[in-house]
Chains A and B, each alone.
Chain A
Amino acid sequence: MNAIVISAIWGVIMMFCGAFSKNNAAIRATAVLGIVLVFVVNLMELYGTKLFTINTTGMLAFDNFGLLFNAIAIGCTIAYFLLNGRDMEKVGLHYAEYYALIFFVLAGIFISSSFSSLLMLFLGIEIISIPLYILTGADKRNLKSNEASLKYFLMGSFSTGIMLMGICLIYGARGTFNIEQIALGTTTLTPMIGAGLLLLMFSLAFKVSAAPFHFWTPDVYDGAPTVFTSFMATIVKAGLFVAFIRLFEGAFDAMQPQWQTLMAIITAATLIIGNLTAVFQQSVKRMLAYSSIAQAGFMLFALVAMNGTGKEGLLYYTLAYSVPTIGIFAILVRMKDYTFEGFNGLAKHHPVLAAVTTIFLLSLAGIPATAGFMGKFYMLSAAIQNGHVMWLVIVGILCAAISVYYYFRVIQAMYFKDGDPQELETSGFHKGLLILMAAFVVLIGIFPQWLIQMLYNFF
């Protein structure tokens, strides 16, 4: 609760900051202060101390899963702010407003990780989406950014319309928006609930860019300013996944046998299309967009399996996917050339950056001793525990093998090809933070018990 209120208020403070101060360093400091405050407040709530309590019965329910996810999302945002703070200045003139919008998006993520009414699901997802349309089009003079923004807006509001129809049909059948009451006594799919469930599933698959509703993703992620792509592809996507799993676990758990096959097909399609298309990309940014689709396929395992391991794995996977991706984007955003050739010879000119990029890419590919491996392990074991979808596990493993090809193309370009030295300005702080993140990725990959233990303490 406290995190939602404070991040929304801090968004407003950031807007005032932009009106009264033109000093970018001060704005950046305010934003970092705000996000750290939100983090502390969220941790306090996780341990049972609340600054203030508001009665949200029937609308929002704050359980440990949601709060723990919030903590991970805020932690990633802190790293994102520290790494990309200076690059956001280059996007446009409205520096403070970008931070304000990100705080609003975070408030939306917190709402959608703790809703217990379909009304709050709708509001949470809209609070996430509307600022993102603006952030996508933040680079106003750039035609690609305009186009991405328009496309994202049209596709996003289209899927919102579909989601609303789904909510409406379920309301018609059950007479309530509360997910617990919907779950109560709903064990078979009547035509109306079935149609509502399908529409909700499609629209949320749209939002998390699962195939066959993924077609907007590469265009939008490619066209948006790179700093914001980094935010959209990691923290926001994970937040939408938590909303997805919360809805289907809360309201439609009893009907799982009836929709599991469809969800498994969506998952398999996402994995196959994401991985196969990523192989043919020329631009690293676009490759990362497809890789985010492919990784979304792995996160969908949690929905197919729908058990404790899956939920736990989703939290772990969020961290194991977000940290490396934010790191790679933080390096990519400072490069002039986004193609694979741009990475040629990076190891010779910037050995530290090349080394951390390698660790991040290894983690994304799921090589053992990195976080990505344990994340994939959890997802696959969740599906095996479920027992009904063994074929999906095989598809998942094959696709993980395909993904090694395009991630290693970047490593190969960095270490085994010669290229001209690129202009790539880094500071000691930037490098130090990246090394810290790489160390974290390896650490939780080797000692996953540490994080899992923390999860068990709360579950």
Chain B
Amino acid sequence: MKIEYYIVLSLALFCIGIAGVLTRRNAIVIFMCIELMLNAVNLLLVAFSKMHHLAGAAANPMAGIDGQLFVFFIMVVAAAEVSVGLAIIVMMYRNVHSVDVNFLNRLKH
């Protein structure tokens, strides 16, 4: 398949993620949208990796391998972020019994 399809799909997913982060008010949903952004990047990285591999495999059989490697690192870091993020959301919930980010206005004044 042409690489353009992957780019369009990933950018669409990425933009859905951004729109979700900017418009939704529930902390968990915002968090899911951030994960969607990261996964859009993962998808695109794998597609680019394949593209570079096909272009350069004759000269270098390892061409484009680093893109797929990067995906693993993104997954690991995303997992670390999930554990910290959910802990923060739970901590918040214990104190205010809500995960609505509209509650987050105590710091404005």
Contacts and interface: CB of A to CB of B under 8 A. Distances in A.
A335 interface: no
A171 B85 CA distance: 28
Contact of B45 (A134, A137, A168): A168
B92 A146 contact: yes
A432 interface: no
B96 A143 contact: yes
A172 B89 CA distance: 35
A122 B67 contact: no
Contact of B101 (A150, A157, A162, A168): A150
A98 interface: no
A130 B79 CA distance: 11
Contact of A158 (B21, B41, B44, B107): B21
A141 B95 contact: yes
A349 B106 CA distance: 33
Given A147-B106, A158-B34, A153 B84 contact: yes
A291 to B, nearest CB: 17
Interface in B25-53: 27, 30-31, 34, 37-38, 40-41, 44-45, 48, 51-52
B107 A223 contact: yes
Nearest to A164: B41
A133 B88 contact: yes
Nearest to B22: A158
B95 A161 contact: no
Contacts of B51: 172
A172 B77 contact: no
B77 A168 contact: no
A175 B45 CA distance: 10
B73 interface: yes
Interface string A195-227: 000000000000000000000001100110000
A341 B77 CA distance: 44
A137 B85 contact: no
Residue of B73, B88, B89 with highest tally of chain A CB at under 10 A: B88
B38 A161 contact: yes
Contact of B88 (A149, A158, A164, A223): A149
B104 A147 contact: yes
Interface of chain A, main secondary structure: helix
Given A123-B73, A154-B21, A168-B48, A161 B37 contact: yes
Contact of A154 (B30, B77, B80): B30
Contact of A157 (B85, B89, B91): B85
B48 A150 contact: no
A94 interface: no
A148 interface: yes
Interface in A121-157: 122-123, 126, 130, 133-134, 137, 140-141, 143-144, 146-151, 153-154, 157
Nearest to A178: B66
Contact of A150 (B34, B81, B88): B88
A440 to B, nearest CB: 34
A232 to B, nearest CB: 15
A81 interface: no
A147 B95 CA distance: 10
- Which among B7, B37, B69 has the highest number of chain A CB atoms within 10 Å? B37
A173 to B, nearest CB: 9
A100 to B, nearest CB: 14
Contacts of B31: 154, 157
A177 interface: yes
B73 A122 contact: yes
Contact of A175 (B17, B30, B64): B64
Given A123-B77, A164-B38, A150 B107 contact: no
A175 B77 CA distance: 22
B14 A154 contact: no
A133 B84 contact: yes
A176 interface: yes
A157 B17 CA distance: 12
Given A133-B85, A147-B107, A162-B37, 10 more contacts: A123-B73, A126-B81, A133-B84, A150-B89, A153-B88, A158-B34, A171-B48, A175-B64, A219-B108, A222-B107
Interface of A: 119, 122-123, 126, 130, 133-134, 137, 140-141, 143-144, 146-151, 153-154, 157-158, 160-162, 164-165, 167-168, 171-172, 175-177, 218-219, 222-223
| 6 closest Cβ pairs, A-B complex | A161-B37, A219-B107, A172-B48, A164-B41, A175-B52, A126-B77
Interface of B: 3, 7, 14, 17, 21, 27, 30-31, 34, 37-38, 40-41, 44-45, 48, 51-52, 55-56, 63-64, 66-67, 69-70, 73-74, 77, 80-81, 84-85, 87-89, 91-92, 95-96, 101, 103-104, 106-108
6 contacts: A119-B70, A146-B95, A147-B106, A149-B91, A151-B104, A154-B101
